[in-house]
Amino acid sequence: MLSLLAAADTSTVDAGKAIALALGIGLGSLGAGIGIGNIFGSMIQAVARQPELRGELQGIQWLGFALTEAVVFYGLIGGLLAYVLV
Amino acid sequence: MRRALALAGLLAVVLPAVAAAAEESEEFDPSAEWTLHEWIPIHLGPIDMSINKAVAYLLLGTAVSIVIGIVLMRWRLGHTPGRRQTVGEAIYEMAQTQVAEQGLPTKAIPLWFPYVASLMIFIWVVNMLGFIPLPLSDEKVDIGGVELPTLAVFAATSTLSVTLALALMTCVFTHIEGIRANGVMRYLQSWIPDVPKAMLPMIIPLEILGQFMRLISLSVRLYANMLAGHMLILTFIGLIFLTNWLVFPLSVTAATVFYLFEVLIVVSIQAYIFAALSAIYIGSAIEPEH
């Protein structure tokens, strides 16, 4: 099912599916990557300005990180579903 | 340094185990980790209650979290905390300040703190057990004439049924608490935001859909994180069998990096997020105008 490398040379349909899955996840991670960068960038700025707030901000930071990171995995699950079902 | 050595030792144990498991089957398939064979079949009519790998991991996880709770937070507590008690207090304080007080209103903390705290510890333990090689797998290896299960890594939280059951629990508690605190009509009204009347036919279906999306996002977040983590590690190790043995250094290095990332960051973050979001959902149902 998921042996992508083996699938690529068996038939063009499988190759197409493999490319679509890879492209979909790649583009999905692009957005999440930007989002995660934003979160940690803002965190660094916030701590640089007010270091005493670090403890309070850390909880929010990890919440934001996990919420953003999960977006990739929605894409991954969608991609896997499409890969298996189509 | 000692920790690094311990981790290296752990990897030295787990990597050959994955390799051995793969060598026996003709073609390596990372998704084989998620085919659950029935160990003890229990069928109640149409309901399949069989004990399989995921159930075994869940039972083990339950036992370990109970032991962690009792040993760290209940057993022989003193006024001058030793190392064991310090760890327990740190976990308790983390659950209290970071999880419960962030989401729950003060009056709901006595009732719901135990729920969110045990969610956090249970999910952390099950996630963590998923990265420790245990002899709980479907593959068998022959050691001195005895058939033993190979050491393998598998997380019960990387199956959707487990995370969906956990998310469903939070979802049910959210609505029960919302109705109990506000009454049925006022709780349902609290779903509808203040918008112009003309917008209502569009907003109301979206809000109702949003309640179900919470359930999906809560369960899929944990499930997909653990699935992707295990899949990444397995796939990178599997590259050796799928392509050429010369990729060995690359694939083992990449798998090790992902293993460390998962164990050090993802496992704890996901447990924390699941508990924190549960607390936030329950809290926002109790006090809608927050």
Q: Give the tens place of pLDDT for each residue, B153-198.
A: 888 888 888 999 999 999 999 999 999 988 888 888 888 777 788 8
User: Is there a contact between B61 and B157 (Cβ–Cβ < 8 Å)?
Assistant: no
Topology of domain A27-85, per CATH? Answer: F1FO ATP Synthase (1.20.20)
- Taking the domains of chain A in order of start, what are their residue ranges? 27-85
CB pair distance less than 8 Å for B269 and A62: yes
Q: Which residues pair with B43 in a beta bridge?
A: B48
Task: Compute the average pLDDT of residues B27-31.
Answer: 71
CB pair distance less than 8 Å for A76 and B272: no
Nearest Cα to B120, choosing from B285, B288, B280, B273?
Answer: B273
Nearest Cα to B85, choosing from B96, B94, B72, B74?
Answer: B72
Across the A:B interface, residue pairs with CB atoms under 8 Å apart total: 53
Average pLDDT, chain B: 83
Q: Does B242 touch chain A (CB under 8 A)?
A: yes
Q: Give the tens place of pLDDT for each residue, B32-83.
A: 778 787 788 787 777 777 888 888 899 999 999 999 989 888 887 777 778 8
| Predicted local confidence at residue B100, as pLDDT | 87
CB pair distance less than 8 Å for B27 and A6: yes
End-to-end CA distance of chain B: 47
Mutate to test the interface with A, among B101, B214, B225 (most CBs of A within 10 A): B225
Chain A residue nearest residue B98, CA to CA: A59
**Residues of chain B positioned with their CB less than 8 A from the CB of A66:** 221, 269-270, 272-273
Q: Of the candidates B31, B224, B273, which has its C-beta nearest A73's C-beta?
A: B224
| Predicted local confidence at residue A6, as pLDDT | 54
Q: Give the tens place of pLDDT for each residue, A54-79.
A: 888 888 888 888 888 888 888 888 88
Tell whether ipTM is more than 0.85. Answer: no
Task: State the residue for tokens 């109301």.
Answer: B204
Task: State the residue for tokens 């290095």.
Answer: B253
Residues composing chain A = 86
**Residues of chain A positioned with their CB less than 8 A from the CB of B27:** 3, 6
- Taking the domains of chain B in order of start, what are their residue ranges? 2-286
Residue A8 has pLDDT above 50, yes or no: no
**Token duo for residue B107:** 């009056």
Residue B134 sits at φ, ψ, to 5 deg, of: -125, 150
